Chains A and B, each alone.
Chain A
Amino acid sequence: MSTLTDLYTHGFWRRVGAMIRKEFIQLRRDRITFATMITIPLIQLVLFGYAINTTPRDLPTAVLLQESSDVGRSILKSLENTRYFKVTHQVRDSETFDRLLASGSVLFGIEIPTGFERALRRGDRPALLVAADATDPVAAGSALGALGQLVQTALQNDHAIPATTASAFEIRQHARYNPAGRTQLNIVPGLLGTILTLTMLIFTALSVTRETERGTMESLLSMPITPLEIMLGKIAPYVLVGFMQAALILVAGVVLFDVPIVGNLFLLATLTTLFVATNLSFGYTFSTLAQNQLQAIQMSMMFFLPNLLLSGFMFPFAGMPVWAQWVGESLPLTHYLRIVRAIMLKGSTLMDLHYDALVLAGLMLVAMSIAVTRFRRTLD
């Protein structure tokens, strides 16, 4: 009895051992998968570790100077000296000022009204107007907090306005587009983009490798169909699926979280379709590059993670170092987030968003060209 158990357990570990051995051999054979398993986690740790910063710096800011005074210039200089704000635009009229905010070119607008200096010296506590794009409340919050102290110090140093005056001026904040600072208004559009990215990638990432592994590719290649036709045929059905998915998320967002859709619904639908098609193209491209389904999934995940972390969904885009922003600029989700937040919350038009729309279209075309040229038409 006991010898039988011994025999059985002995056999058990031998079989497990045989299985482990076999799996390791197979793993070693699949060089690409093996390499990605080692390098990708490291690369991503370093990449995201340095890129992500929850206290945003250098937020793009527009200043509307309505008078040309010493105090005005001094405020401007102190803003530029801080690491929170980066004055990217100095404007003279309020239309340009509004447009910069609407298009998302700047996150802050600081307006120094006419007669600010005189009122200050008289002790009238004039108002410094600060407009913040609150579609991303996290990015706006900490910078706004720092602003008051900063200007105060600047004025004391440069113009001997006594520190005893509790505050020589008033900061009148206006959180544009999301006055209540509700995070749902930011999260729901962000989730829409993130969910679409993930599902679209998975839909097409397996499409070519699956045919290769099942053996149906050989017959398909022997028939008169071109790589472009195969690609379009495989992407098109999912554009419809993605569109319906987007509609579902939006309706739920409106119904459950009371997220407004201020802008044009047709524009939102069109650009969402473009975004869906872009991600499907990326998934399809991975499918043509990968040698098996596991590789295709790995590539999709490698692509999804930076989309999630560097697009401005999880962490403020403006807070990332410049190189990380460049990486972010090359990801579809970054542009779609800007588009969807702007249309839903700001009511932006295609005029405001043409840059992001063009980048999305460009990314889609690049992915498609890679897919069509890298598609193996023979079994060589």
Chain B
Amino acid sequence: MNAVADIAIDVHGLTKRFNGLVAVHDLSMQVRRGLIYGFLGPNGSGKTTTIRMLCGLLTPDEGEGTCLGYDIRTETDKIKSQVGYMTQRFSLYDDLSVVENLEFVARLYGMPDPRGAAQAMIERLGLQQRGTQLAGTLSGGWKQRLALGACTLPNPQLLLLDEPTAGVDPRARREFWNEIHALAGEGLTVLVSTHYMDEAERCHEIAYIATGELLTHGTVHDVIADSRLVTYNVTGDGLAKLAGELAARKGVDMVAPFGASLHVSGRDAAALEAAIAPYRKSKSLRWEHSEPSLEDVFIELMGRDRSGKPDRTKTKTQ
């Protein structure tokens, strides 16, 4: 009883295949109500597929669970009436105006005063000047805001936002996130997928998915701590050459360049120390112990093979 009240999403072992290819594998997740839950992962990792299973648009091949307390297999109608889903691709009507799109949504949900509701949303979105403009002619940032407005219009309890800020400029992205926080402040649960690391930091909790598998989840702090990654920040000369050499050494699990510095990480502190010891003496290099970033953690996670053990061929990004 209490669990149902507290937990918005509770799914276990979700698996989805397309023509034999596994898109999502044995995925379980719990999202508490009122949280902003970040769903991270690279392209093609199964974020969209998972979100579609949550709102009843795809039937899982295996696994079960509930969304807002309703079964994701059998009670999709109830889920649809209380979930706002913002698709990855803009999916409002290009040839309807902003107002007409919002009124259409309001009417579909049987809201008592569709005109009033649409008008109120337009004011909330700051779209007063563009009410009669065709949705297809809006700029990318405005389209995203309108889409967010459309899926929050019927007062859902849960928002599923699929890469809502992809391709949007930084300022629009910040405003968008402010709006998401405002909505969460009103009690909504928000599941938002993204591949921007900075956005992960704005979530209460995150989950990371790669090639269909959920690799880690929790608060940003927990995720970093759980990785037990030890990271050094190296600055100095000849970093490109150094990166190549370090990556080949035992005990170094990941080497990644970050601007003018290099992040060198390993899961086993002693092994890492041993591996880098010869290079620490170099006068042209400055070694600093540092906290691993989320990106370090994720890149390292992706580098592991399926059994969860560290990958023999060490990951090295650009």
Q: B108 to A224, Cβ gap below 8 A?
A: yes
| Neighbour of A215 across the interface among B55, B56, B87, B105, CB < 8 A | B87
B57 close to A218 (CB less than 8 A) = yes
Instruction: Choose from B59, B83, B90, B93 the contact partner of A222 (Cβ within 8 Å).
Output: B83
Since A215-B91, A219-B85 are in contact, a sample of 20 more A-B pairs with Cβ atoms closer than 8 Å, ordered by chain A residue number, is: A215-B90, A216-B93, A217-B91, A218-B57, A218-B87, A218-B91, A219-B91, A219-B92, A219-B150, A221-B57, A222-B56, A222-B80, A222-B83, A222-B85, A222-B87, A223-B105, A224-B77, A224-B81, A225-B108, A380-B58
**A215 contact set on B, CB distance < 8 A:** 87, 89-91
Contact B90 A379, beta carbon cutoff 8 Å:
no
Cα of A217 to Cα of B85 in the assembled complex, Å? 12
Least CB distance from A286 to B in Å reads: 22
B179 at interface by CB-CB < 8 Å:
no
Taking CB atoms, residues of chain B closer than 8 Å to A380 are: 58-59
**In the complex with contacts A214-B94, A215-B89, A216-B93, A222-B108 CB distance below 8 A:** no
Listed by A's residue number, 26 A-B pairs whose Cβ atoms lie within 8 Å are: A215-B87, A215-B89, A215-B91, A217-B91, A218-B57, A218-B91, A219-B150, A221-B57, A222-B55, A222-B56, A222-B57, A222-B83, A222-B85, A222-B87, A223-B80, A223-B105, A224-B77, A224-B108, A224-B109, A225-B108, A378-B56, A378-B57, A378-B58, A379-B52, A379-B58, A380-B59
Question: A residues within 8 A CB of B91?
Answer: 214-219
Contacting residues, chain B, for A223 (C-beta < 8 A):
80, 105, 108-109
Query: Would you give the 0/1 interface string for A189-227, flagging 1 where the beta carbon is closer than 8 Å to chain B?
Result: 000000000000000000000000011111101111100
Residues of chain B at the chain A interface (Cβ within 8 Å): 52, 55-59, 77, 80-81, 83, 85, 87, 89-94, 105, 108-109, 150
Interface string of A368-380 (1 = CB under 8 A from B): 0000000000111
Q: Which of A211-248 contact B (CB under 8 A)?
A: 214-219, 221-225
Note all chain A residues with C-beta closer than 8 A to B52.
379
In the complex, what distance in Å separates the CA atom of A224 from the CA atom of B76?
9
CA distance A378 to B59 in the complex (A): 8
Q: CB-CB < 8 A to A218: which residues of B?
A: 57, 87, 89, 91
A160 to B30 Cα, complex, angstroms: 102
What is the bound-complex CA distance between A337 and B130, given in angstroms?
Answer: 50
B111 to chain A, nearest CB (A): 12
Nearest chain A CB to B300 CB, angstrom units = 34
Contacts of B83 in A (CB 8 A): 222
Return A67 CB to nearest CB of chain B, in Å. Answer: 72
Distance from A135 Cβ to chain B, minimum over Cβ atoms (Å)? 44
Q: Which residues of A contact B109 (CB under 8 A)?
A: 223-224
A378 and B87 CA atoms in complex are apart in Å by: 14
Contacts of A217 in B (CB 8 A): 91
Residues of A within 8 A of B105 (CB): 223
**Bound Cα distance A224, B52 (Å):** 15
The 9 closest A-B pairs by CB, nearest first: A219-B91, A222-B85, A224-B81, A215-B89, A224-B80, A215-B91, A218-B87, A223-B108, A216-B91
A12 to B76, CA, bound (A): 54
Q: Looking at A217, A218, A222, which has the most chain B CB atoms within 10 Å of its CB?
A: A222
* Nearest chain A CB to B20 CB, angstrom units: 14
Closest CB of chain B to A370's CB: distance in Å?
A: 22
> Nearest CB to that of A379 among chain B residues?
B57
Closest B residue to A225 by CB, please name it.
B108
B residues within 8 A CB of A222?
Answer: 55-57, 80, 83, 85, 87
For B55, B81, B83, B87, the residue with the greatest tally of chain A CB atoms inside 10 Å of its CB is B87
* Bound Cα distance from A224 to B55, whole angstroms: 11
* Chain B residues whose C-beta falls within 8 Å of the C-beta of A221 in the assembled complex: 57
B residues within 8 A CB of A379? 52, 57-58
B57 to chain A: which residues have CB within 8 Å? 218, 221-222, 378-379
B77 surroundings in chain A (CB, below 8 A): 224
* Set of chain A residues within 8 Å of B59, measured between Cβ atoms: 378, 380
A127–B315 CA distance with the chains assembled, in angstroms: 105
CA distance A217 to B91 in the complex (A): 8
Nearest Cβ in chain A — how far from B144, in angstroms? Answer: 14
A216–B96 CA distance with the chains assembled, in angstroms: 12
Q: Which residues of B contact A216 (CB under 8 A)?
A: 91-93
Q: Which residue of A lies closest to B94 (CB)?
A: A214
The distance from the CB of A379 to the nearest CB of chain B, in whole angstroms, is 5
